[in-house]
Every structure is written in C-alpha cells, then in structure tokens.
C-alpha cells in the first residue's frame, strides 16, 4: 500500500479523496492555484504544493508541475479525481514515465474510451448495444446537415472528446444542425482542445442510466448496479439516484454484463462507468465510458456499502478485488442533488462571489454532504461552480426522497446565487415522485428559468403563519426585555397583525401564544404552529398543523424572506395601523435598461458580432459570453439599431455589465 498520494484536483472531490486516504492511513498532498490558496482541500491535506495561476490551463492542467510536485513530496501515486487530468492519456503516460502510479485505468483504456468514435466501434465489437449514427467525425456544417438527414432528425451532435455536457447540441432541422455544429465545435475546442464532432440519432423520451464497474489487474471485473441520471439540464446532471425506478432485474443484469464485457475488451482496471441511454420500454444503447470516478458515485456507495475511492487505491496498489459479482448486494435507495452557484431565475447562469453563509443540514445517519467549501470562501469564475452535493439514503425511494427534501430545506447558502430552491422544487414535483423521468423532464416542466415566487395558496398560508409567529415571538421577547421595538408599542403583548406581500396581497393574522403550540389564525383559518425556534435562528424547524416544515427565515430590511420547498416569498408583518400607512408609501420603480444588452453573468466576452450603426433583427446574435467553459449567445430581443458597443472581446465582464447600447 502507498505511504503518500497526491490529489491532482481541487474542491469537493479533492476533499473526498483526502478523507478516504486519511482513514486508510495514507499521507496526502494537495495542489493548489492562486485562487485556491485558502481552499478547504489545502487545509485538509498533510502537505500542499502551489502549481500555478488561477486559470486551470496554468495550474491544474499543468501535468509537468503536478509531476514535479509528486517527485518533490515523495508521493508514490496520484489520484486525478474527475475533470482536469482524470481522462487524459498523455498525463497518465507522464506520471508513469516519472515512476508515479496513476490511480485509474491503463493508458490504453483511457485513450480508447476517450474518443467517442473509437469507443462506439469497440463497444459494438464487444457485443454492446449502440445507437444508430454516423461513425466518423464530420468536417463542416454542410456535411453535418447531410449526415443528419441520412441518420434522420432529431440528431445529437457530440464532441468526440466531450463530457460534462460540453460540446453537445440536439438538432431537429437543418438550421438547428448548422448552429449546433458551430456551437459544439467551438465549445469542444475551448474545453478539450479537440473540435471534432460526430452525429448520432437522438432517442426520443430518453433516460440516462449508467452502470458502475470495478476491475482489478488480476482478471476480475464486476458491476455495482446502476444509477439513474435522467434529471438533467442542458446535458448536465442535476439529481441522480440509485437504483433506477425504470429497470427490472433482467435489464439490470443485461446492462451490467454488457458493461463488464466492454471493460474486459479494453483491459480495464480501476473504477469506471459505462453510460447508456434507455427508452421507456427498457431498450438501451451505449453512450460512452467514463474512465474515472463519477461525480455521482456516492449514491452507489450508499446502496452497496463500498468506498469506491478506497477500491481505486487498492487496485492501483496491485490488490485483487475482495468480492465477487454474486456477493454484490444493493440495499435501499440513495439520491444526490448537485448544489451549484448558478441563478435559476436568470436562466441558470453561473454565479460567483463570497459565501457569506454556508451551513450544511444537521448531521444525520442517512444524510451525507460532500463539499469543498467553507463559510467565507470564494466561488471562483475559473472553475466548476459546484458548492456541495446533498446525498441521502433510505430503505426505499420514498424515504430517501423525503430525507433529500428536508436536507435541501435545511441547507443555508448566502452570497452567490445558487440552485437550492430549484432542487427542492424538483424533489417535490409529483412527476419526479412517481419516477416518471427523462432527460427532457426539466425542459418540459420548468422551461429555461425557475420562479420560486409562484407560491400556491396552501403553501403561502403556511408561510404567512410562520412569518407571523416568528414576528410575534420576537415582539414578545422585546416587550419582556423592555426594548423599544417600534414607535407606539405598549407593554401589553400584541396579538393582531397584518402580513403584507408586495403592494396588494395581505392577510389578517391573530397570533395566540401558549407554552406549547402557538396558534396563528390567518384570515379565519386556524393553524397550530409548533417549532424549535428562537429569535436569531435562521431556520424554522417544526410543524404547522400536522405537517412538518423547515423554513429558512432571513431578515430583509424590516421584513422577512421565507424559503421552503422551492418557494420563496418576501413578507412584512405590520401592526394594523402600520399596514394602513404602508398602502400610502410610494412605489420605487426600477430604472429602464431596455436600451442595453447586459452580461447575464460574470464571464469572458468571446465575441461581439455587431458594430455601431448596425441594424439588427430580433433573435440575431449580438455577442458570446463564456463562463465555466460554456458559451452563452446573447441575441437581440427585437429589431434595433446599435448605438454603441461598450465592451470589447477579451474583456472580463461583471454581471449586468453593459455590452451593447441601442438607439
């Protein structure tokens, strides 16, 4: 066994590997860039080595510097995590040349499976079901259209070296095919240094299901069940679970055996994942093989009881697998939600900034949080915007889902925008609860943006009751302490309040305190409110009537912002007289910015497609902004004449920074 390993990664996965290595008694070395000097993975490791400036191309992708760090610290092996160098055959070759063990598969397997065209050919030869398509890279947009017509629309345009949703586009006609080819090749060139793309048939109503495999250097290979990864947005996984609600035992066995056959065909060793697309009738087809640890590996760990990082380390050290296929048992159900710094209300655009507050859910045996951040840390524009993964386990799917819902409500993040409310809404969607999934689920049910303010009446009444109870308790505390909580207050406890939302919505609430449950009567509807909450608490945990609720409570000015179950509402709790005066307050109107095209996110301005004096049509491309290696095209909302271009290509943009001004 190794004495010391280096983790050639950052963030959540670096911390994850360090935890297992520490449990195994193995010393750890972290690497870091300028942006990560104070990062959690640096603090957790036994040693840390600087490898370059903030951009990943100048640090985490610098194989030469990471090899030097291994040699300087005496690390015998390197774990690449996922992303960065994890599927880079040249990097694995460089480690081997330096005498450093690569904790991953053989170089030949990485190279063969890293090219999607080659991997499809090998899979077909190994007897694995494959999707109909064009086997070779297409040269230009004209050939892409020709191939797409031959394959039959809809088609998927995919980068041969792609992954993580980058370099992928779906096309339903010639126009979408041409545009998709340009976007896919550009993203592939930026992300992977390889702009080749190929085309295959897009399976209608698809489900994304993957098989986790393990193989050693002694001829043993097995599969550890499947993961359902169909809940995706723009080809990026959002919530994963294991096992899949779709599969039966026969399909699970068939997929697993095909995955193992492919692993044997390429002489695979280590942990890996074979991804399939399945239709509603359980017909399945090979997508690709990921020759690394997957982001969603914790759900497999929770249902098998295996530590996949430990298995990777043991295999890399030359050990044989300690179990056989018939000994693999799947226990219960697990779910994982990916918490990202992104703004669902602005089309899920990336967000950055300091984590003013980061409080994970309360510890519980069946709740696991994998993260690489701490409160006060910075979410950088240079790397993947993941903040944490919330993972839950239960004896069945309903239990695991219920625990996920509660954990998401308890998670507190303030600073950058984040997708926690969106995840909470997904986890409570009736269709998701039924297991009626598909890669188009989010597009169908939510579209391109998410509005947490659209609160149904029953949920809104619960939040009104919570807000009134919270405010009444704070008022009672102030009166007992003799503090003046507002002009005109008297010593007697106030019972009657008016809760106001915006300019029009208002509820009359009577709060009746008691030693046990309080009672909030909202417009004549009585609610029993029982909570473990004290003034100053940022989470209200308790019951409203017979329903358990967990509500985040933030002060916004003199009001409250309440977040629960994917909903968010801003409320004022006022005395009846203050509510009358509130009606008379003038309404502040936002400035008119309709003449400007604003950057919707922090990022790099890749291209400006117009100049001053140009006449543009609605939908015409104006500029392209890149963030987190994804290109975002900004288009004209309507016909305009360009007055001025306010930013030039190569500029680093702040959110809402003007790029183009119209006349």
According to the model, what pLDDT value does residue 449 have? 79
Segment (H or E) for 382: none
Taking only the tens place, the pLDDT of each residue in 16-38 is: 999 999 999 999 999 999 999 99
Q: Tell me which of 141-145, 303-307, 490-494 is least confident.
A: 490-494
According to the model, what pLDDT value does residue 480 have? 67
Segment (H or E) for 222: strand 221-233
Instruction: Specify the 3-state DSSP secondary structure of 585.
Output: coil
Q: Are strands 27-33 and 4-7 parallel, antiparallel or unpaired?
A: parallel
- Rounded Cα gap, residues 423 and 566, in angstroms: 7
Specify whether the CB–CB gap between 495 and 510 falls below 8 A.
yes
In the block, which residue shows the tokens 């009359």? 508
> Where are the extended beta strands (E) located within 407-504?
412-414, 496-501
Burial bucket for residue 295 (CB in 10 Å: 0-12, 13-18, 19+): buried
Sign of CA pseudo-dihedral 132, 137, 141, 146: negative
- Rounded Cα gap, residues 15 and 39, in angstroms: 10
Q: Tell me which of 110-119, 163-172, 209-218 is least confident.
A: 163-172
Mean pLDDT throughout 54-60? 93
Q: Is the pLDDT assigned to residue 164 strictly greater than 70? A: no
Q: Is the pLDDT assigned to residue 488 strictly greater than 80? A: no
Domains and CATH numbers, the chain: 4-103 (3.40.50.20), 133-201 (3.30.1490.20), 207-446 (3.30.470.20), 457-582 (3.30.700.30), 596-662 (2.40.50.100)
Reported as a pLDDT band with limits 50, 70 and 90, residue 473 is confident
Q: Are strands 367-371 and 378-379 parallel, antiparallel or unpaired?
A: unpaired
Among 165, 9, 185, 186, smallest CA distance to 83 is for 9
Instruction: Note the Cα 362 to chain centre separation in Å.
Output: 21
**Of the spans 143-152, 164-173, 447-456, 515-524, which averages the highest pLDDT?**
143-152
- Rounded Cα gap, residues 528 and 589, in angstroms: 38
Angle at 311 between CA 307 and CA 316, to 5 degrees: 150
Mean pLDDT throughout 121-147? 91
According to the model, what pLDDT value does residue 167 have? 87
Q: Tell me which of 90-104, 322-336, 451-465 is least confident.
A: 451-465
Mean pLDDT of all residues in the chain? 92
Sign of CA pseudo-dihedral 635, 636, 641, 645: negative
Percent of the chain surpassing pLDDT 70? 97
According to the model, what pLDDT value does residue 485 have? 47
According to the model, what pLDDT value does residue 629 have? 63
Instruction: Specify the 3-state DSSP secondary structure of 614.
Output: coil
Taking only the tens place, the pLDDT of each residue in 614-662 is: 999 998 999 998 876 677 889 998 899 999 999 999 898 888 899 999 9
Give a three-class secondary structure readout of 509-570: EEEECCCCCEEEEECCEEEEEEEECCCCCCEEEEEECCEEEEEEEEEECCEEEEEECCEEEE
According to the model, what pLDDT value does residue 487 have? 45
Q: Is the pLDDT assigned to residue 108 strictly greater than 50? A: yes
- φ/ψ of 420, rounded to 5, equals -60, -45
Specify whether the CB–CB gap between 357 and 413 falls below 8 A.
yes
Mean pLDDT throughout 437-454? 89
Reported as a pLDDT band with limits 50, 70 and 90, residue 475 is confident
Mean pLDDT throughout 402-429? 95
Judge if the upstream peptide bond of residue 319 is cis by omega within 30 degrees of 0. Answer: no
- Indicate which residues carry an active-site annotation: 288
391's tokens: 């993972």
Q: Is the pLDDT assigned to residue 483 strictly greater than 60? A: no
- φ/ψ of 578, rounded to 5, equals -65, -35
Taking only the tens place, the pLDDT of each residue in 261-271 is: 999 999 999 99
Q: Is the pLDDT assigned to residue 106 strictly greater than 50? A: yes
Q: Are strands 155-163 and 166-171 parallel, antiparallel or unpaired?
A: antiparallel
């Amino acid at each position: 066994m190794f004495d010391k390993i280096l983790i050639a990664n950052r963030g959540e996965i670096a911390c994850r590997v360090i935890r297992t290595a520490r449990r195994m008694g193995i010393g750890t070395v972290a690497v870091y860039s300028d942006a990560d000097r104070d990062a959690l993975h640096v603090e957790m490791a036994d040693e840390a080595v600087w490898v370059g400036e903030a951009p990943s191309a100048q640090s985490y992708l610098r194989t030469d510097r990471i090899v030097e760090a291994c040699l300087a610290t005496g690390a015998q092996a390197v774990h690449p995590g996922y992303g960065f160098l994890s599927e880079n055959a040249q990097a694995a070759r460089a480690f081997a040349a330096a005498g450093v063990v690569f904790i991953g598969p053989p170089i030949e397997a990485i190279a063969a499976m890293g090219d999607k065209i080659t991997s499809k050919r090998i899979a077909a030869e190994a007897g694995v079901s494959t999707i109909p398509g064009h086997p070779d890279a297409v040269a230009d947009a004209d050939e892409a259209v020709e191939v797409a017509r031959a394959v039959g629309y809809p088609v998927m345009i995919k980068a041969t070296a792609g992954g993580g949703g980058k370099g992928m586009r779906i096309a339903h006609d010639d126009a979408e095919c041409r545009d998709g080819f340009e976007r896919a090749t550009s993203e592939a060139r930026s992300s992977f240094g390889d702009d080749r793309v190929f085309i295959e048939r897009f399976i209608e109503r698809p489900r994304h299901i993957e098989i986790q495999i393990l193989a050693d250097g002694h001829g043993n290979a097995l599969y550890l069940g499947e993961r359902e990864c169909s809940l995706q947005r723009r080809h990026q996984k959002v919530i994963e679970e294991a096992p899949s609600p779709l599969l039966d035992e026969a399909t699970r066995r068939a997929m697993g055996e095909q995955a193992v056959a492919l692993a044997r065909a390429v002489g695979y060793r280590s942990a890996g994942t074979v991804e399939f697309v399945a239709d509603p009738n359980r017909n399945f087809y090979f997508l690709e093989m990921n020759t690394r640890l997957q982001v969603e590996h914790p759900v497999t760990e929770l249902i098998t009881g295996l530590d996949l990082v430990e298995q990777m380390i043991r295999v890399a050290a030359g050990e044989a697998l300690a179990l056989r296929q018939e000994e693999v048992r799947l226990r219960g159900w697990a779910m994982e939600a990916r918490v990202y710094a992104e703004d669902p209300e602005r089309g899920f655009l990336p967000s950055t900034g300091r984590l003013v507050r980061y409080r994970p859910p309360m510890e519980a045996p069946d709740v696991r949080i994998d993260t690489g951040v701490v409160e006060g840390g910075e979410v950088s524009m240079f790397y993947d915007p993941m903040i944490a993964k919330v993972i839950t386990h239960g004896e069945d799917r309903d239990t695991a889902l219920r625990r996920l819902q509660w954990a998401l409500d308890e998670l507190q993040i303030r600073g950058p925008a984040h997708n926690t409310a969106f995840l909470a809404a997904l986890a409570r969607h009736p269709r998701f609860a039924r297991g009626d999934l598909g890669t188009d689920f989010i597009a169908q049910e939510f579209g391109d943006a998410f509005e947490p303010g659209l609160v149904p009446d029953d949920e809104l009444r619960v939040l009104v009751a919570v807000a009134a109870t919270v405010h009444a308790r704070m008022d009672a505390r102030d009166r007992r302490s003799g503090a003046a909580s507002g002009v005109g207050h008297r010593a007697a406890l106030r019972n009657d309040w008016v809760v106001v939302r915006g300019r029009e919505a208002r509820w009359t609430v009577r709060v009746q305190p008691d030693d046990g449950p309080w009672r909030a009567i909202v417009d004549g509807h009585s609610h029993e409110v029982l909570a473990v909450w004290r003034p100053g608490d940022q989470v209200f945990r308790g019951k409203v009537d017979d329903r358990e609720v967990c509500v985040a409570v933030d002060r916004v000015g003199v009001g409250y912002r309440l977040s629960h179950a994917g909903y968010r509402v801003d409320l004022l709790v006022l005395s009846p007289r203050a509510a009358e005066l509130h009606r008379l307050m003038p309404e502040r109107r936002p400035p008119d910015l309709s003449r400007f095209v604003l950057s919707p996110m922090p990022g790099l301005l890749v291209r400006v497609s117009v100049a001053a004096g140009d006449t543009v049509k609605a939908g015409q491309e104006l500029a392209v902004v890149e963030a987190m290696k994804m290109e975002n095209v900004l288009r004209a909302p309507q016909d305009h004449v360009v007055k001025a271009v306010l930013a030039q290509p190569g500029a680093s943009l702040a959110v809402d920074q003007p790029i183009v001004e119209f006349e």
